[in-house]
Amino acid sequence: MAIKFGRPIELRDHAPRPVTYDTPSLGLTTRPRRNRKSEWARRLVRENVLTTDDLIWPLFVIDGDNQRAAIASMPGVERLSVDQAVRDAERAMKLDIPCIALFPYTDPSLRDEMGTEACNANNLVCQSVRAIKKEFPDLGVLCDVALDPFTSHGHDGLIQGGKILNDETVAVLVQQALVQAEAGCDIIAPSDMMDGRVGAIREALDDAGFLDVQIMAYAAKYASAFYGPFRDAIGSAKTLTGDKRTYQMDSANSDEALREVELDLAEGADMVMVKPGMPYLDIVRRVKDTFAVPTFAYQVSGEYAMIMAAANNGWIDGDRAIMESLLGFKRAGADGVLTYFAPHAAERIKASR
């Protein structure tokens, strides 16, 4: 049950009882509670607001027709066949969500050591982009650039002798970005954390005439336990060998995030992202204060799963926790949030207007 915000607690919970208290005065000049005395007063002094313009909605796509398959660790999120992804794109349009992000569940038979399918101009992501752009040209479409949905080992890059190869991987990522841009993708979002990939992709996009295709760099992406359910969703959880700590950042570090962001901006990133979200709000704030560029946060699958699990157990008020968590990103300085809660939040925002 949703509790309406701003209803005075005493009216909600108690039948009034006649009591008398002594009324000593503390003689306070400043009483911060005055500005919180009623809903209109709180609205008047409110510093941050979440709007539908702040939302990017990640969708998972699978092969097939008319498929919507539940993901156990992400209750409420489904893998969608391309036709159904188009229906969710329509829902995004109706909810005034400016942009969606696409992630494929690649059939295991198409995964290999090199992530070859990433560069197939007719892969699931490219098919989805074309189908969505055809019906909804005004909806922003973001495509992730990384090899993990396509490799048999679940890593974001090419491996040799147990090591993730940087420059060789970047050459493949450039090809992946080009097929996505060719399909009509608006924002290329490299999430692989290889060094130098933003510059290489920018140059290749420009050479191919995609001057207006934006780059949102996953600039500060941490090696995190919170990606677990996402790996279920794209089917890499079981195949992933080892961890990603030689390319994703150490969660102990903060200055390093600024250096990563600085590099990506110098290489041509139009927007930067911090990921995960809630445990890294301090990074969002530092990035925004330091660079004053469009800054995004990714509220990742594990954050979604935590809130949903607690809400489904009745341990927290899910609606309120969702909106509070999203407002936290705005307060930390984010210009927008990639969140699986996007349609839910947009519905709430629209209903409250």
Which residues are documented as binding site for Mg(2+)?
260
- Interface residue with ligand FVT, options 300, 322, 326, 334 (CB under 6 A): 300
**What sign has the CA pseudo-torsion 313, 315, 317, 318?**
negative
List binding-site positions: 260
> Which CB sits closer to Mg ion, 186 or 260?
260
Beta carbon of residue 144, minimum distance to ligand FVT (angstroms, whole number): 5
Residue type, 84: Q
- Alpha carbon distance, N-terminus to C-terminus of the chain: 20
227's contact among Mg ion, ligand FVT, none, with CB below 5 to 8 A by partner kind, is ligand FVT
Q: Are 66 and 224 in contact (CB under 8 A)?
A: no
Would you count residue 191 as binding ligand FVT (CB under 6 A)?
yes
- Interface residue with Mg ion, options 186, 260, 267, 303 (CB under 5 A): 260
Would you count residue 339 as binding ligand FVT (CB under 6 A)?
no
Q: Choose one: 116-124, 135-143, 258-266, 297-305; the region binding ligand FVT (CB under 6 A).
A: 297-305
Would you count residue 144 as binding ligand FVT (CB under 6 A)?
yes
Q: What is the spatial distance between Cα 148 and Cα 157, in angstroms, rounded to a whole number? A: 7
Q: Are 94 and 140 in contact (CB under 8 A)?
A: no
Task: List active site positions.
Answer: 221, 275
Would you count residue 301 as binding ligand FVT (CB under 6 A)?
yes
Residue type, 317: D
Question: How many Å is the maximal CA-CA distance in the chain?
Answer: 78
> Which CB sits closer to Mg ion, 139 or 269?
269
Would you count residue 59 as binding ligand FVT (CB under 6 A)?
no
Question: Binding pattern to Mg ion, positions 60-79, x when CB under 5 A?
Answer: --------------------
> Which CB sits closer to ligand FVT, 52 or 301?
301
> Which CB sits closer to ligand FVT, 251 or 317?
251
Beta carbon of residue 223, minimum distance to ligand FVT (angstroms, whole number): 11
Question: Binding pattern to ligand FVT, positions 4-43, x when CB under 6 A?
Answer: ----------------------------------------
> Which two tokens mark 139?
């909806």
> Which CB sits closer to Mg ion, 54 or 260?
260
260's contact among Mg ion, ligand FVT, none, with CB below 5 to 8 A by partner kind, is Mg ion
> Which CB sits closer to ligand FVT, 244 or 286?
244
Question: Binding pattern to ligand FVT, positions 201-230, x when CB under 6 A?
Answer: --------------------------x--x
Beta carbon of residue 110, minimum distance to ligand FVT (angstroms, whole number): 19
Give the CA dihedral 239, 242, 245, 246, nearest 10 degrees.
Answer: -100
Q: Choose one: 41-49, 77-85, 90-98, 296-304; the region binding ligand FVT (CB under 6 A).
A: 296-304
Nearest to 194 by CA among 176, 225, 211, 219: 219
84's contact among ligand FVT, Mg ion, none, with CB below 5 to 8 A by partner kind, is none
336's contact among Mg ion, ligand FVT, none, with CB below 5 to 8 A by partner kind, is none
Pairing between β-strand 163-165 and β-strand 158-160 as defined by DSSP bridges? antiparallel
Give the residues lining the site for ligand FVT (CB under 6 A).
Answer: 144, 146, 191, 227, 230, 300-302
Give the residues lining the site for Mg ion (CB under 5 A).
Answer: 260
